[in-house]
């Protein structure tokens, strides 16, 4: 403690320093206890080469009504069975859908639901060909 002229004493106030020190200690203790875990989803290793997957399968909803798979006309009753047969031996479960004019959204979703029930996992959209 140092005495200045006229009876004033100067000394460092330790209370704020101790408060800051204790707060830092508590923060570090809490951070050590918390484990930062991030869920990472890594795709499974591909056991087959990509080029061996074959040609893509395109389900076309024909403008006049009806279905075609890669140009082959399929009846609506046999659509799910035909898709199941195609994807039974295929490692990739990707189906492309091309919709002609005159189809409602609900009809397109019904066709996609049939494909999903037949074993298709991924659906891709192919824009219609030709001028609009």
In this structure, what token pair is assigned to residue 130? 């030709």
Q: For residue range 15-64, list pLDDT tens digits in order.
A: 888 999 999 999 988 888 776 666 777 878 776 555 445 788 999 999 88
Query: Between the CA of residue 63 and those of 24, 25, 67, 69, 83, what are the distances in Å?
Result: 70, 71, 9, 14, 20
Instruction: Please provide the distance, in angstroms rounded to a whole number, between the alpha carbons at the two ends of the chain.
Output: 92
* pLDDT tens digits along 83-116: 999 988 888 889 999 998 888 999 999 999 999 9
38 contacts: CB under 8 Å, gap ≥ 6: none
pTM of the entire predicted model:
0.57
Pairing of strands 9-10, 72-74: unpaired
Q: What domains are defined for the chain?
A: 52-126 (3.30.420.270)
């Amino acid at each position: 403690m140092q005495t200045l002229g006229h009876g004033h004493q100067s000394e460092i106030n330790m209370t704020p320093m101790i408060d800051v020190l204790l707060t830092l200690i508590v923060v570090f203790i809490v951070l050590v206890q918390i484990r930062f875990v991030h869920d990472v989803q890594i795709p499974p290793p591909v056991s087959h080469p990509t080029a061996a997957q074959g040609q893509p399968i395109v389900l076309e909803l024909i403008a006049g009504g009806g279905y075609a798979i890669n140009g082959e006309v399929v009846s609506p009753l046999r659509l799910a069975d035909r898709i199941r047969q195609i994807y039974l031996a295929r490692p990739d479960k990707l189906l492309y859908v091309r919709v002609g004019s005159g189809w409602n959204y609900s009809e397109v979703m019904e066709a996609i639901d049939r494909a999903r029930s037949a074993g298709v996992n991924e659906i891709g959209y192919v824009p219609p060909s030709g001028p609009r």
